[in-house]
C-alpha cells in the first residue's frame, strides 16, 4: 500500500536529487533536500484537510488530483507563481522575470519581498475563512469542547465568519501593514493589504461556495439516484448520472487546487530564506508537494480520518495558526521552523487525543461485553 501510494514520490525524489547534484553540484543537492523537508513539514495540515475533501471523490478524481493536480501544484505554484509575482511587481513580462530570476537572483528576491504583504494578506484571509467556517459550525464530534461548543452557538449568527475575517483584515491593515517589511526597510502597505485581503475573501466565497453547492447537490442526487435505481431494477432498466457527479467533483477539485495554492504561499516565501535560485526552489518544493499529494491519498484510502476523528480538528487549528502567522509576517519575520512546528504540534496533539479516545471506546466496549457475558451466565 505504501509503495503503491508513495511510489511516484520516491521516484521523483531520487530523480530530482540526482538531477540537482548532476546539474548544479552537491550544494544544490543539499538545498533541494532541505526545501523538500520544509515543504512537507509546512503542508502536513494541508494533506489532512485535503483528505477530508478527497474522500468524497471517486478513484478517478483521486487520480486526477495526483496527476493534473500535481502538475498545477509543482509548475503552477512552485515555479510559475514566483515568476508572476515578480512580473506584476516589477511591471515586466514573464520572460524578463525569468531572466531576472536567473541572472539577478538578489534583485529577484527583493521584488518578491516587496510583494509579500499582498501575498500574505490574500493567503491569510483565504485560510482564515476556512478556519472560521470550521469552528463556527456545529459538529457532533468535538475535540476542545470547552472552546468549540460556545463557538458553534455563535456560528448560528448569519455571516459571522465573514464579519470576523473583515475585522481581522481591517486590524491587520491598521497595524502590521503600516510598517510592512520590504526590501528597503519598512513601508505603509495598508491599501495593498486591504485590496489583497478582500480578493482572498472573495476567492474563498466564490470557490468555496461553488464547491459546497455542488457537494450538497451531489448528495441530494445520490439519494434520488438510489430511489431511481430501485425503481429501475423493478422495471429492468438502468439509471446513470455520471455527468452531475463529474461536475460536482470538478468544483471540489477546483476548491482543492485553490486551497493548495493558499497553503503553498508560506512555503514559497519561506524558501527565499534558504535560496534565491528559482529552479532549486521549484525542484525542492515540488518534491515536497508530491509527498503531500501522496499522503492525502494515503489518508483517504486507509480511512485514517475515520479512525482518528480529531485529526481534522487539529489540521484546522493549524490552518488558523498559519493564517495568523501570514498576517503577522506582513511586518515581522517569523522563522519557518516555528511555522512548521506549530502545525506538527497541533496535529500531533489531535492524533494523540484520537488514540486515547479509541482506547477508551475499546475499553468501554470490552467492559460492556463482559457485563453481557456475566448476565448470560446468571441467566
The mean pLDDT value for 89-97 works out to 75
320 part of a folded domain: yes
Alpha helices in the chain (DSSP H): 2-24, 26-54, 59-71, 81-90, 94-103, 105-114, 116-135, 145-154, 160-174, 190-235, 242-271, 278-302, 304-307, 311-328, 336-378
pLDDT greater at residue 174 or residue 240: 174
Phi, psi of 181 (to 5 degrees): -75, 125
- What are the angstrom distances between the C-alpha of 135 and each of 217, 286, 379? 23, 31, 49
Render pLDDT for 259-294 as a digit per residue (tens, 0 to 9): 777 667 666 766 665 676 778 888 888 888 888 778
- Residue 214 · residue 178 · CB < 8 Å: no
Q: Report which listed range, 93-97, 118-122, 195-199, is most confident.
A: 195-199
Number of separate domains in the chain = 1
376 part of a folded domain: no
Bridge partners (DSSP) of residue 182 are 185
Q: Is the pLDDT of residue 211 over 80?
A: no
379 part of a folded domain: no
211 part of a folded domain: yes
375 part of a folded domain: no
129 part of a folded domain: yes
Which range marks the domain in which residue 233 is found? 2-366
332 part of a folded domain: yes
373 part of a folded domain: no
Render pLDDT for 128-150 as a digit per residue (tens, 0 to 9): 998 999 899 888 889 988 999 99
Amino acid at each position: 500500500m505504501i509503495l503503491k501510494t508513495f511510489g511516484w514520490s520516491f521516484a521523483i525524489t531520487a530523480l530530482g536529487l540526482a538531477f540537482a547534484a548532476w546539474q548544479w553540484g552537491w550544494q544544490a543537492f543539499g538545498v533541494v533536500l532541505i526545501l523538500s523537508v520544509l515543504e512537507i513539514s509546512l503542508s502536513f495540515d494541508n494533506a489532512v484537510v485535503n483528505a477530508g475533501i478527497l474522500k468524497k471523490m471517486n478513484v478517478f478524481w483521486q487520480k486526477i488530483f495526483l496527476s493534473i493536480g500535481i502538475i498545477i501544484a509543482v509548475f503552477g505554484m512552485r515555479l510559475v507563481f514566483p515568476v508572476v509575482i515578480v512580473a506584476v511587481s516589477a511591471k515586466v513580462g514573464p520572460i524578463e522575470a525569468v531572466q531576472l530570476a536567473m541572472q539577478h537572483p538578489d534583485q529577484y528576491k527583493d521584488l518578491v519581498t516587496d510583494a509579500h504583504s499582498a501575498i500574505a494578506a490574500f493567503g491569510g484571509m483565504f485560510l482564515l475563512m476556512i478556519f472560521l467556517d470550521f469552528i463556527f459550525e456545529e459538529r457532533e464530534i468535538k475535540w476542545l469542547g470547552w472552546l468549540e461548543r460556545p463557538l458553534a452557538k455563535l456560528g448560528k449568527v448569519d455571516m459571522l465568519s465573514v464579519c470576523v475575517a473583515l475585522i481581522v483584515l481591517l486590524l491587520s491593515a491598521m497595524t502590521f501593514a503600516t510598517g510592512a517589511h520590504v526590501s528597503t526597510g519598512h513601508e505603509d502597505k495598508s491599501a495593498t493589504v486591504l485590496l489583497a485581503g478582500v480578493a482572498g475573501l472573495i476567492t474563498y466565497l466564490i470557490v468555496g461556495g461553488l464547491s459546497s453547492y455542488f457537494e450538497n447537490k451531489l448528495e441530494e442526487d445520490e439519494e434520488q439516484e438510489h430511489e431511481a435505481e430501485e425503481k429501475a431494477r423493478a422495471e429492468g432498466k438502468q439509471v446513470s448520472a455520471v455527468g452531475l457527479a463529474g461536475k460536482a467533483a470538478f468544483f471540489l477539485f477546483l476548491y482543492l487546487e485553490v486551497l493548495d495554492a493558499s497553503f503553498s504561499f508560506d512555503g514559497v516565501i519561506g524558501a527565499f530564506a534558504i535560496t534565491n535560485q528559482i529552479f532549486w526552489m521549484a525542484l525542492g518544493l515540488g518534491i515536497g508537494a508530491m509527498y503531500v499529494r501522496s499522503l492525502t491519498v494515503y489518508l483517504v484510502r486507509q480511512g485514517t480520518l475515520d479512525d482518528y476523528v480529531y485529526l481534522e480538528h487539529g489540521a484546522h487549528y493549524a490552518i488558523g495558526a498559519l493564517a495568523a502567522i501570514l498576517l503577522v509576517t506582513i511586518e515581522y519575520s517569523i522563522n519557518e521552523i516555528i511555522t512548521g512546528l506549530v502545525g506538527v504540534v497541533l496535529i500531533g496533539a489531535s492524533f494523540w487525543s484520537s488514540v486515547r479516545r479509541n482506547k477508551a471506546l475499546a475499553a468501554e466496549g470490552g467492559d460492556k461485553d463482559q457485563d453481557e457475558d456475566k448476565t448470560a451466565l446468571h441467566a
